[in-house]
Chains A and B, each alone.
Chain A
Amino acid sequence: MLPEARLLNRGIGPEPETLDPQLARTTQSHIALRDLFEGLVSYSAEGVLVAAAASRWKISADGLRYKFWLRPEGRWSNGETVVARDFVYSFRRLVDPETAAFYAETLNSVVNAAEITAGNKPPEALGVEATSRFELEITLREPTPYFLSLLAQAATYPVREATVVEFGEQFARAGKLVSNGAYRLAKWEIGLAITLIRNEQYWNNKNTAIDVVRHHVTVEPSVELFRYRAGELDVTSTIPSEAFARIRDERPAELRVSAFLGTYYYGLNLNYPPLGDNPELRQALSMAIDREALTASVTGRGEQPAYSWIPPGVQNYESPVLSYATLSTEKRNAAAKRLYTEAGYNEANPLQIQLRYNTSETHKNIALAIQAMWRHTLGFEAELINEEFRVLVTNMRAMKITQIFRSSWNGDYNDAYAFLAMFESDNPSNMFGYSNEDYDLQLKRAAKQTNPARRRLYLEEAERVLLADLPVIPIYYHVSKHLVSPSVRGWQDNVLDYHYSQHLSFD
């Protein structure tokens, strides 16, 4: 008697845009890709870095040379063996300017990667070599302590060269795509769902419990919740804030809320007044925000107030904390008012400033709440400007009209540097006009440091400088929130919010 195929229905959120690992740009694409492919390394269900396509590796003492031994039993979904050359091809494809890969910079620490992407060297010059059928060697420009975790990222997933050559840009479609992960692509109905079925050839297939995974496109969180309640989904991608309290009361066992490596913040443009050259004002604005009330009432899903920039949970790191974290609300507000006056503002001369956020219920509610807090504590009326996402992004980059703008930063990998890089003076993600020599220096020192304990000190010092200058106002640390059906087993909370379907099962 054949057992019924075990089918897992997951809500994925907004639509993924592609299943080509090197071209993928969005979180949603990465979720689907994680089930389809496997990188050299991967994460366990608990969020620990483990061997995957590679069975073991060796790192040289100077941190510049990595050698990987591939698993000889690794297979593509068409039965062919996964070999080192596949990874060489895929890494070159990632940095190749012709590919126009969005995350080409993932491999920037590899020798020649940046030059290739800039078009100054051919892809063959990349510091990656297949020294034998199953041996791969990677050479870096400078020691990058978090390099291994980069190799778990979707951008570095291998693609089969013959498939790409044969089908060109259509290779990532159902019926053509060849993958090396736990599942293969059965169907992609745009706007509806991606259907994955078990990859029998996968080297670890015997440990895969779920036969079919459907990632459903769920654009509206409230509708996703309806579908979950109606039994159509086993796992949701998020939980709408207005329903959170009720769910906590009615279905506490199905609620999975976990710390997440992401900070919700208000960015400040330091290029001109009123925020440039006025650190007192920036601190005042930060102090006057009642983060506890905000996270308790407005977002109310277990988010943690942020008094540092980097969220807790980063390995080998402890953030310095803003001095007013421990003050009572009254004392903090009073201190804020004092700083505000010191900054040159008062009732006769209130601050005039614009706060931009992109269209979303959450952002709107937070902005309204903070506007009210500033009105109440400091006595000025911030002007709220709701912009469509891409308009806001354009304005943030241009740095010409923004003053305060809402944003979030998520760590791609579990390392403090993922959060600190963007404040370096020459970083393209620096949308704040922030430039501090001391800060840059600390980061440069950290980059050259192979001793983790000493590296940590430099990074923490950098964050201390950052918190003193406050080019951003951290507001709260994100949480990942899901509803997981009681029949699903194997779901483990982790700070990266990676949940591979191959770790899940039904009881």
Chain B
Amino acid sequence: MRFIDEYRDAALARTLVKRINRHSTRPVRLMEFCGGHTVTIMKHGIRQLLPETVEMLSGPGCPVCVTANGDLDKAIALAEQPGVIVTSFGDMLRVPGSRSSLQKARAGGADVRVVYSTLDALEIARDNRAKKVVFIGVGFETTAPTIAASVLKADEEGVANYCVLSLHKLCPPVIKALLDSGEVKLNGLVCPGHVSSVIGSRPWEFAAHDYGIACVVAGFEPLDVLQSVDMLVGQLERGEPTVEIAYSRGVSREGNTTAQKMMARVFEPCPASWRGMGSVPGSGLRFREEYGKYDAERVFDIDPGPTLEHKGCICGDVLRGVKTPLDCKLFRVTCTPEHPVGPCMVSSEGSCASYYHYESA
């Protein structure tokens, strides 16, 4: 597989590991923001290969995991309305909300369908004109432009029965909030590669300039992650935090301006509620007035019921990097992939799911 296999070369990986071990003298704490990076690190046992001076923390970069219970309850409430087809990415289905989940709603008779793409959701809308089709819009800046594109397509074609529940989140504001909270002292950030393909590397510059955090935009193969750790260690050893792009084959400083414009045409930033962090200013996306008729929150009167949090679930702490899954009393005991209590165990990019599946030996 081109652009994948080359970046999994074991011999080159060993070289990078040797280099990191040789260069690293001072203890540093790095956060890999993105759930995808956590998966790569756990799957290939990268933590084991790094020197003791390098500590890796997992961050809140899993859009499913950071969706607040109250928002998930909205999606479930929509599913339970008559004449509604809810379409969603697969990961959302098993996440427990306050009382139920999309999967449980489906078992109870709701029409909930897993789709791989908004293109599929639009198809379902075209084929079911008598019903309202809602797409649960969960994702970061990687996904938001595709949702925007689907809204524009619906508008162009007159698919009036299609709408989106916008639960999209933006990454740079939450990084700022994490750094502002001072809860976790970070030295470096492994920046999300595919989010950055869209937004560019520029939005990370504030972290280096204003907070002295070393930043490297990383791809998702083992060599990509190792290269990024090597570059971060290099910046920190030299005491010169800046933003570098390791994932140069997919990321530029400016990003994909077409995608950015499309996102901005349909959506505008707003405050959003992140699991474990409460409301973070400017970190969410809401529909602009002009496309309001595709906003599920305007189309429907949604009553999600009271929001309840699960006792003992520390997903919020795990997402902020304050605790690891191993610190959670429920991990592997009552919270397992088969019977998840919190979203970090359900999502394919959740920290707890990664720690569970790829336990180091």
A and B held together in a complex: no
